[in-house]
Chain A
Amino acid sequence: MNAVTPIKSIGEYVPMIDGPEKVSGRAKYTADLPAAGGLVGRILRSPWSHAEIISVDTSAAEALPGVTAVITGADCDKTFGVLPIARSEHPLARDRARYRGEPIAAVAASDDATAKKALALIRFEVRELPAYISSKAALAEGAVDLHEKRPGNVERAVDFELGDVEAGFGEADLVRSESYSTAEISQAHMETHAARAEYDPLRDRMTVECSTQVPFYVHLMLSRTLEMPKSKIRVIKPPIGGGFGTRTECLNVELICALLARKAGGMVSIRIDREETLVTSRGRPQCEMTLKLGMKKDGRLTAASLELVQRGGAHSGYGIVTILYSGSLIYGIYDIPNVKYHGIRALTNTPPCGAMRGHGTVKTRFAFESLLDSMAREMGLDPFAVRRINYLAKPDKVPNLTDNDLMVNSYGLPECADLVEASSDWKARKGSLAPGRGLGMACSHYVSGAAKPVNWTGEPHATINLKLDFDGSIVLLTGAAEIGQGSSTVLVQCVAEILGISMSRIRIITSDSAVTPKDNGSYSSRVTFMCGRAAIEAAENLKGILVAAAARELEAEPKDIEVLGEIYRAARQDKGLSYEEVVTAALRDSGTITAKGTFTTPDFAQGGKKYQGAAIGSTMGFSYAAQVVEVSVDTDTGRITVEKVWVAHDCGRALNRLTVEGQIEGSVWMGMGQALSEELVYHPKTGLPLTSGFLDYRIPTILDSPPIETHIVESLDPLGPFGAKEAGEGSLAGFLPALTAAVEDAIGIRFTELPLTPDRVFAAIDKKRRSEAAAAKKAGKAD
């Protein structure tokens, strides 16, 4: 019996528990749900970038045979939005359309062809208004305000200064300032947005199934826009085809679907197409930045000042959070004594932006690491050395706070940098590669869940229920949204590990508001940390019940019960009780057992009050990453090939090494898309989206994608579940500056504007050649 040991789940390579359904095609995504007996919904979208809606005539559409319901802005006067302080949007535009593609009407019909025909019959009378496609135009004096409550088209301006920045620059040996810009990009998840809504007129109840990362927020917004009590609504999230932030807020699609279903008195399914999905991206905003850094001779930073303008699009969305993140996450990675930030989120006549993977940090990190690297070069310092001298001190207490009160209780960045330096053979290879080939490196970090949720209710951040019944199986009930990142697998692992049992004993049911506990959803890399902690607590509570039952059966004290997976025994000699026997004993006391665990972020994690919005960026812990990128540049075509990436990511304890690797690889690769090819383009005058499909919006294919050598660093966070932190976002931001550094190493040009499409690269190479030729000619004449 002494050989009996608990089964280990944590820290292993565990294939995802929902993998078989995905690889076999059996997983039912929203658009795969049966639609028989229901109606097909279609959305009419604004062909104007900015227009006052004077009148709408839907009579011809309504009269078309096969059409059951037609709705317009007149059908819903309630706004929606993820931030309670910034709800500017209606499910269907009323009075004014503010971007090309904004929903202005919708129909439910017997089939798709009829629905399309009906849309073409809806007549609008409008008065066009000036459209502002760039932040600069929207912020210019005299521009028409997109929203009454946002004068000057400023969604939010953020200013803070911590320390004395001017004094900091005064102490520096080198002060440099540089401007950077990044394009608007899309999550471009593979499953286009979809919803199926079923209204039950007999009971006045609504059931909505939709592709979302945040079923709870969808629930709130359905209640608000339908003006139905929350108790009458049920929200279910089927498997979804990718998130990356595109669905971290309730979208108009699910609201329109529900409005149609209620008006039609039945079931309506909507699957929007790729072109529509690209305007409903809620992507990463286009951004203009100017960064100024002060540096001592040894590379130590003395001050940083960042000015940043984001083109937020036509509605608030997550905008205020994004512009705050872009400032607060200057901190948390290096020790910078003096920091100043000025950020402006502009409202423009383009589709609303949102929270994309690495929310708020990617642009800031691109600028910061780029300038740090350039200045190191100017000072003759090694890129690794200039990071090392600015590392944070190793945390020695909990909570350990940054100057802006963000919590850093574990810090594996030094180990990450050491690993990629060694594995890429940086010291030997940097500076000795063939012409046109180069190496660059950069670091990055990201939060493990927002410590203060955007929708503050005072409830725990996460709740997990475990049900144990006569069959001995454990059902894990959670609202945590599995979006392909492996959250269901990791939660089952946590419970299995505590109980020492096989994961196969546990079934998981997720994201059905009628069954599972409320959860805020999958965003800001919160699930592993917060739901993981709740799962551990629930499993500990269940274990306590089983141990107490075993103790009674064995006439022992609970403290003397040894749990060896499926054997509970009182002493080494005792053959003990089987798991089934313990379950039977426990059920005898109480019937079906429900054990619960919750997680609440402590007050000290929730950020400070040193400036307005300082709570944004507060988190339970930061992940850290370093990466080295090797490129070759074809100077005849301007085409950049990423030859290899070496990345190391500190995720605390890697709960599932397989999915951690997958998340890191996916993050690095998504950063590559932003750096090299991805760009949402709108016609500068008309606002017409010019990148409406994957032939124009260029995602890297398998032919463009490099080998990625992934290393995991486990700094073991004192508050994390088994010491874990986030793994799915932190490696993204570093790719962009590592790439531009590698390109500079290869061809001697430092790019500050992304993406580095071949035309942009070639133009710069050509310009450099011409200026070098002109200089040589001039020098020749001088001789």
Chain B
Amino acid sequence: MKRLVRFTLNGAVREEAVADNILLLDYLRDGLGLTGTKTGCDGGECGACTVLVDGQPAFSCLMLAGALDGKTIETIEGLAEGGRLSVIQQSFHENLGAQCGYCTPGLVMASEGLLRTNPAPSEGEIRAALAANICRCTGYVKIIEAVEKAAARLRGEAAA
């Protein structure tokens, strides 16, 4: 069975007939070719598939595409403007918040969700916001640094 859903994806309104049983993750990757969102586990364990749903970080592997009606979805592909990196993306790049890069889209989206609602998070708040995202390369040290510096830059403080 398919159902008709109308939603906003990375700023553009879409109306699509989607299968009842397709996960948002698979719909994004296989249906739309938005492969920036990654599959890292068998469901809800790693955070690599994190996207923003109505501005909040969510696991796209635990959500059906059929549940998208009326919602606003943002993926890693939607952050860059005019092909330039967003402040958070730039900070992950400059501060080595990404090594192999596989968990990075999920972590960037989780950070984006955090900084929109909390522009000056403490280290503890950053840790809490990223607790559902596993990174196997960095030991998280430089991820925290990347988010702190991005937050400072977004607040208009000294360049990170």
Tell me the A residues contacting B by CB distance below 8 Å. Answer: 15-16, 18-29, 31-32, 34, 187-192, 239-244, 271, 273-275, 483-486, 658-659, 661-662, 665-666, 668-670, 672, 693-695, 699, 701-703, 705, 707-708, 710
Interface segment among B42-50, B52-60, B65-73, B152-160: the answer is B42-50
Q: Would you mind naming 14 contact pairs between A and B with Cβ atoms under 8 Å apart?
A: A16-B93, A20-B93, A23-B85, A24-B36, A24-B79, A26-B36, A32-B35, A241-B40, A242-B102, A244-B136, A484-B137, A661-B142, A665-B138, A701-B134
Name the A residues within 8 Å of B77 (CB-CB): 24-25
CB pair A241–B144 under 8 Å, yes or no, is: no
Interface segment among B1-9, B113-121, B125-133: the answer is B125-133
CB pair A190–B135 under 8 Å, yes or no, is: yes
A22 to B99 CA separation, bound complex (whole angstroms)? 8
Shortest C-beta distance, A524 to chain B (Å), equals 18
Nearest residue, chain A, Cβ from B142:
A662
Check A702/B80 contact, CB under 8 A, given A484-B100, A484-B101: no
CB pair A25–B36 under 8 Å, yes or no, is: yes
CB pair A192–B40 under 8 Å, yes or no, is: yes
Name the A residues within 8 Å of B46 (CB-CB): 190, 274, 694
A764 to B150 CA separation, bound complex (whole angstroms)? 44
Kindly name the residue among B40, B77, B80, B143 whose own CB sees the greatest number of chain A CB atoms within 10 A: B40
CB pair B101–A27 under 8 Å, yes or no, is: yes
Shortest C-beta distance, A514 to chain B (Å), equals 24
Cross-interface CB contact of B40 among A21, A274, A483, A486, cutoff 8 Å? A274
Shortest C-beta distance, A324 to chain B (Å), equals 27
Cross-interface CB contact of B85 among A16, A24, A669, cutoff 8 Å? A24
Check A190/B134 contact, CB under 8 A, given A241-B101, A485-B99, A703-B128: yes
Name the B residues within 8 Å of A702 (CB-CB): 127, 130-131, 133, 135, 140, 143-144
Nearest residue, chain A, Cβ from B134:
A699
CB pair A662–B96 under 8 Å, yes or no, is: yes
Name the A residues within 8 Å of B133 (CB-CB): 702
CB pair A29–B102 under 8 Å, yes or no, is: yes
Cross-interface CB contact of A666 among B48, B90, B99, cutoff 8 Å? B99
Shortest C-beta distance, B127 to chain A (Å), equals 5
CB pair B42–A275 under 8 Å, yes or no, is: yes
A670 to B105 CA separation, bound complex (whole angstroms)? 21
Q: Does B32 contact A (CB under 8 A)?
A: no
Cross-interface CB contact of B96 among A15, A29, A274, cutoff 8 Å? A15
CB pair A708–B139 under 8 Å, yes or no, is: yes
Interface of A is mostly: loop
A617 to B51 CA separation, bound complex (whole angstroms)? 45
Shortest C-beta distance, B123 to chain A (Å), equals 9
Name the A residues within 8 Å of B108 (CB-CB): 23
A672 to B141 CA separation, bound complex (whole angstroms)? 14
CB pair B100–A25 under 8 Å, yes or no, is: no
CB pair A23–B42 under 8 Å, yes or no, is: no
Name the B residues within 8 Å of A242 (CB-CB): 100, 102, 136-137
Check A705/B140 contact, CB under 8 A, given A24-B76, A693-B45: yes
CB pair A22–B98 under 8 Å, yes or no, is: yes
CB pair A658–B96 under 8 Å, yes or no, is: yes
A27 to B46 CA separation, bound complex (whole angstroms)? 19
CB pair B85–A20 under 8 Å, yes or no, is: yes
Cross-interface CB contact of B131 among A20, A665, A703, cutoff 8 Å? A703
Kindly name the residue among A18, A23, A241, A694 whose own CB sees the greatest number of chain B CB atoms within 10 A: A23
CB pair B127–A191 under 8 Å, yes or no, is: no
Nearest residue, chain B, Cβ from A659:
B96
Name the A residues within 8 Å of B92 (CB-CB): 19, 23
A26 to B79 CA separation, bound complex (whole angstroms)? 12
A188 to B35 CA separation, bound complex (whole angstroms)? 21
Q: Does B41 contact A (CB under 8 A)?
A: yes
Cross-interface CB contact of A24 among B48, B80, B128, cutoff 8 Å? B80
A189 to B40 CA separation, bound complex (whole angstroms)? 9
Given A191-B100, A242-B136, 10 new contacts (CB under 8 A): A19-B101, A20-B85, A20-B93, A22-B98, A23-B98, A23-B104, A241-B38, A662-B142, A694-B45, A695-B45
CB pair A665–B139 under 8 Å, yes or no, is: yes
Name the A residues within 8 Å of B76 (CB-CB): 24-25
Name the A residues within 8 Å of B141 (CB-CB): 665, 669, 705, 707-708, 710
A701 to B45 CA separation, bound complex (whole angstroms)? 11
Check A274/B136 contact, CB under 8 A, given A190-B40, A703-B131: no
Shortest C-beta distance, B50 to chain A (Å), equals 12
Cross-interface CB contact of A192 among B39, B99, B137, cutoff 8 Å? B39
Name the A residues within 8 Å of B101 (CB-CB): 18-19, 21-23, 27, 239, 241, 484
A485 to B38 CA separation, bound complex (whole angstroms)? 20
Name the B residues within 8 Å of A29 (CB-CB): 35, 38, 102
Cross-interface CB contact of A190 among B35, B37, B102, B140, cutoff 8 Å? B102
A34 to B37 CA separation, bound complex (whole angstroms)? 15
CB pair A666–B105 under 8 Å, yes or no, is: no
Q: Does B18 contact A (CB under 8 A)?
A: no
A485 to B134 CA separation, bound complex (whole angstroms)? 17
Name the B residues within 8 Å of A707 (CB-CB): 141
Name the A residues within 8 Å of B99 (CB-CB): 16, 484-486, 662, 666
B77-97 residues with Cβ-Cβ distance < 8 A to A are 77, 79-80, 85, 89-90, 92-97
Nearest residue, chain B, Cβ from A194:
B39
CB pair B85–A240 under 8 Å, yes or no, is: no
Q: Does B103 contact A (CB under 8 A)?
A: yes
Shortest C-beta distance, B18 to chain A (Å), equals 16
CB pair A241–B100 under 8 Å, yes or no, is: yes
Kindly name the residue among A190, A192, A670 whose own CB sees the greatest number of chain B CB atoms within 10 A: A190
